[in-house]
């Protein structure tokens, strides 16, 4: 019978709780089953418009370099490889896998068939009211491997 | 991809979305669903296997991974487990993001999720949520006599 105390300051650890990917997957599945696929997309659009409003504003003002920084930083934090190629009017990024999908599988959860919308709908919403558009060129539902492009609207 | 470091924002927006769809009941229904689906294989399994020490094992992982500022105490002899959250990383982030409005009852989800697991396993669950406006809370789990 033990007595234990643990004291931690925020700076003692890196903020990276990957099990949140599992909760995100469950949240999408709950919406899909209860309210349908449209609700999943509406929700993700609401999230992206709200949380990513500053990113959208910077994209509008400063262009695709902002997205390059964001994508590289995000994948680096998740410890996943990503390659990014950018010109003035186009950015293409390729991933070998989605770290969220990888972790959901590690948790032995079934990946939501709409998990793809965490790419397509979210990046689409980030581009709203900017000179850019997003295309999901390819996506492997098993691994989340993808090729995605942002380009200047014609 | 929604990074796990962005999840808290997505979670808060999810609660807001559900409330718009079906009121507070829709949010509560989701929390109950999440408790059953998300915590059965983690917190529930650990507490069933290790008794109150399962709480220590569960929160030791999650609070460290979430880089929380906390004190955690376990007294197995008296059957008491406590968390004193000095600064909750989730609520702290929501308060920090000035461009978005958090779900007003965000902190209540912890109470619903964990209480639902622990009380049926023979524990009392007390949460002091009076200081959540400062990203602080306290949790005490006691083995029922």
According to the CATH classification, is domain A18-152 in 3.40.50.720? no
Provide the whole-model pTM: 0.95
Interface predicted TM-score (ipTM) of this complex, two decimals: 0.95
How far is B69 from chain A, CA to nearest CA, in Å? 4
**B28-53 pLDDT, tens per residue?**
999 999 999 999 989 999 999 999 99
What are the structural domain ranges in chain A? 18-152
Q: Using alpha carbons only, give the angle B83, B85, B90 rounded to the nearest 5 degrees.
A: 120
Phi, psi of B76 (to 5 degrees): -70, -35
Q: Using an 8 Å Cβ cutoff, are A82 and A94 in contact?
A: yes
Q: What single-letter DSSP state applies at residue B11?
A: H
pLDDT category of residue A154 using cuts at 50, 70 and 90: confident
B136 vs B130: CA distance, rounded Å: 8
What's the CATH code, domain B7-143?
3.30.1380
Q: Which residues on B lie below 8 Å from A6 (Cβ)?
A: 60, 70-73
> Which of A4, A33, A97 should be substituted to probe chain B, the one whose Cβ sees the most B Cβ atoms within 10 Å?
A4
**A19-52 pLDDT, tens per residue?**
999 999 999 999 999 999 999 999 999 999 999 9
A74 vs A124: CA distance, rounded Å: 17
């Amino acid at each position: 019978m033990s007595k234990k105390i643990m004291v931690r300051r925020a700076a003692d650890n890196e903020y990276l709780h990957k099990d949140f990917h599992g909760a995100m997957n469950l949240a999408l599945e709950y919406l899909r089953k209860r309210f349908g696929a449209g609700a999943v997309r509406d929700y993700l659009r609401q999230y992206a418009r709200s949380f990513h409003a500053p990113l959208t504003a910077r994209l509008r003002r400063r262009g695709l370099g902002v997205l390059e920084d964001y994508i590289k930083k995000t994948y680096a934090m998740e410890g996943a490889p990503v390659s990014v190629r950018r010109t003035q009017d186009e950015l293409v990024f390729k991933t070998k896998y989605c770290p969220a999908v990888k972790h959901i599988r590690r948790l032995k959860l079934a990946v939501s068939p709409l998990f793809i919308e965490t790419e397509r709908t979210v990046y689409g919403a980030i581009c709203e009211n900017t000179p850019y558009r997003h295309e999901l060129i390819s996506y492997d539902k098993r691994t989340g491997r993808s090729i995605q492009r942002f380009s200047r609207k014609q | 991809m929604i990074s796990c470091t962005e999840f808290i924002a997505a979670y808060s927006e999810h609660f807001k979305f559900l409330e718009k769809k079906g009121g507070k009941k829709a949010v509560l229904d989701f929390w109950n669903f999440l408790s059953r689906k998300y915590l059965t294989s983690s917190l529930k399994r650990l507490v069933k296997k290790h008794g109150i020490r399962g709480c220590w094992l569960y929160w030791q992982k999650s609070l460290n991974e979430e880089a929380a500022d906390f004190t955690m105490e376990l007294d197995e002899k008296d059957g008491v487990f406590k968390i004193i959250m000095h600064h909750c990383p989730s609520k702290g982030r929501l308060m920090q993001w000035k461009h978005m409005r958090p779900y007003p009852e965000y902190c209540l989800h912890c109470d619903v999720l964990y209480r639902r697991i622990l009380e049926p396993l023979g524990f009392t669950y007390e949460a002091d949520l009076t200081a959540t406006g400062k990203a602080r809370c306290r949790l005490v789990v006691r083995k029922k006599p």
